[in-house]
Chain A
């Protein structure tokens, strides 16, 4: 896993390669200021770090499916003596592992 410092170095190189970045302010494009370059490097590096550390949570959230569908799985597991719901949850977790 990359550290925040490593991601900052990586991001700085990426932003340098993309210069000049522009902002559209009230309909007019202008180049980023030095302060905006420094800020965007911080923002992008922090975003990468957050996704690396916590991205699995949102991925799992979408993959679990609706509560209704999960309750239906549990009902059929009870009636049919199957493990569909448990297997489903285990697969979501294994497909989207914690870092």
Chain B
């Protein structure tokens, strides 16, 4: 159906999973889209994202990003990283429902074997302080080969709470 979000897969926190992974990206759609609701099991945890190739999270130091952190009670932050082994979507996430990280990401060029994998993202949450904090930015994985999904992990290999979920969609034209 034209102009639709086509659900591809989803991963959910079961209380015992330290990694959430959704795969299934191929050349069916030009652009893929994912929504995320993320809540750690213990307080003050960063959320890391990696792309997957053939289902395996890529741990090479090839992640580059730039974003703006929009804070409720402080100045905006300009952030940039180069050649990182993971890409952090959020920092110091708390454990209450109000502190859940909500995110939407668009995934570009993932199925293209001769291009880097690009992601644009928007996240927001109440940080542990608590303070409303949102990030808007982009990243790319600097390896020219096809990617088939994304993987999330929490600082300290913390388990995702049962409220956590990633849903992957294809954007049908």
Interface string of B48-67 (1 = CB under 8 A from A): 10000001010100000000
**Contacting pair A26 B91 (CB below 8 A):** no
Least distance between A7 CB and chain B CB atoms (Å): 12
Query: Provided the pairs A40-B157, A47-B155, A66-B73 are in contact, do residues A24 and B131 lie with their beta carbons within 8 angstroms?
Result: no
Q: Counting CB contacts under 8 A, is A9 at the interface?
A: no
Q: Is the interface of B mostly helix, strand, loop or mixed?
A: strand
Looking at the complex, which one of A15, A61, A66, A67 makes contact with B157 (CB distance below 8 Å)?
A: A15
- Chain-A contact segment, one of B5-13, B28-36, B96-104, B118-126: B5-13
Least distance between B64 CB and chain A CB atoms (Å): 17
Q: Counting CB contacts under 8 A, is A23 at the interface?
A: yes
Smallest CB gap from B69: residue in A: A61
CB neighbors of B among A14-51 (8 A): 15, 18, 21-27, 29, 32, 36, 39-40, 42-44, 46-47
**In the bound complex, how far is the Cα of B17 from the Cα of A26, in angstroms?**
12
Q: Counting CB contacts under 8 A, is B77 at the interface?
A: yes
CB-CB under 8 A from B87, the residues of chain A are: none
Q: Counting CB contacts under 8 A, is B93 at the interface?
A: no
CB-CB under 8 A from B12, the residues of chain A are: 24, 27
Q: Counting CB contacts under 8 A, is A62 at the interface?
A: yes
Least distance between B42 CB and chain A CB atoms (Å): 12
Interface string of B14-25 (1 = CB under 8 A from A): 101111111110
**Contacting pair A26 B24 (CB below 8 A):** yes
**Contacting pair B85 A27 (CB below 8 A):** no
Q: A25-B22, A61-B74 are in contact. List 15 more A-B contacts (CB 8 A).
A: A23-B17, A24-B11, A25-B55, A26-B9, A26-B11, A26-B21, A29-B14, A43-B48, A43-B86, A43-B153, A44-B155, A58-B91, A64-B75, A66-B71, A66-B74
